[in-house]
């Protein structure tokens, strides 16, 4: 038996704002969208067009309060080929929420408070 990772889900409050963030911050593209026939949810799958792994953004119509992310220890990590350019881009966007210079990484925060780790490509 062999498994491979398909996607990571983030529940979001404002779907358009989240899609725009992932497009601008990480260059992800909308790959497909699914809407419930009764309008109760919308799923948007985004990807980097390099790997098969996708992010599933889930919007629930009846959700009114922000999601409790607890200690936010669960996160997504992306490797970037030009770390310095990515850092400047995210700094200009104002979305860097934590830096660990000793490890050579930093985190950005999406509109719903999810943290995304940015890791330099290691050779």
* Sign of the Cα pseudo-torsion (92, 98, 100, 105, in order): negative
pTM of the model: 0.89
pLDDT of residue 1: 74
Q: What is the pLDDT along the chain (123 residues), one digit of tens a residue?
A: 787 889 999 999 999 999 999 999 999 999 999 999 999 999 999 999 999 999 999 999 999 999 888 776 778 999 999 999 999 999 999 999 999 999 999 999 999 999 999 999 987
Q: How far, in Å, CA of 62 to CA of 91, rounded?
A: 34
Any idea which residues carry the catalytic annotation?
117
Contact 82, 74 (CB under 8 A): no
Domains, the chain, in order of start with CATH, read: 7-61+74-120 (3.10.180.10)
Q: How far, in Å, CA of 21 to CA of 12, rounded?
A: 12
* Sign of the Cα pseudo-torsion (3, 46, 107, 68, in order): negative
Taking alpha carbons only, the member of 71, 55, 64, 69 closest to residue 21 is 55
């Amino acid at each position: 038996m062999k498994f491979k990772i398909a996607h990571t889900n983030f529940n979001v409050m404002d779907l358009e704002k989240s899609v725009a963030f992932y497009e601008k911050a990480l260059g992800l593209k909308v790959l497909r969208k699914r809407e419930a026939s009764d309008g109760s949810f919308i799923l948007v799958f985004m990807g980097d067009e390099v790997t098969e792994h996708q992010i599933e953004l889930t919007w629930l119509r009846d959700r009114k309060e922000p999601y409790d992310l607890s200690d936010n220890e669960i996160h997504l990590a992306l490797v970037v080929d030009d770390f310095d350019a990515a850092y400047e881009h995210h700094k200009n966007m104002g979305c860097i929420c934590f830096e660990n210079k000793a490890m050579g990484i930093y985190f950005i925060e999406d509109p719903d408070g999810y943290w995304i780790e940015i890791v330099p490509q290691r050779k």
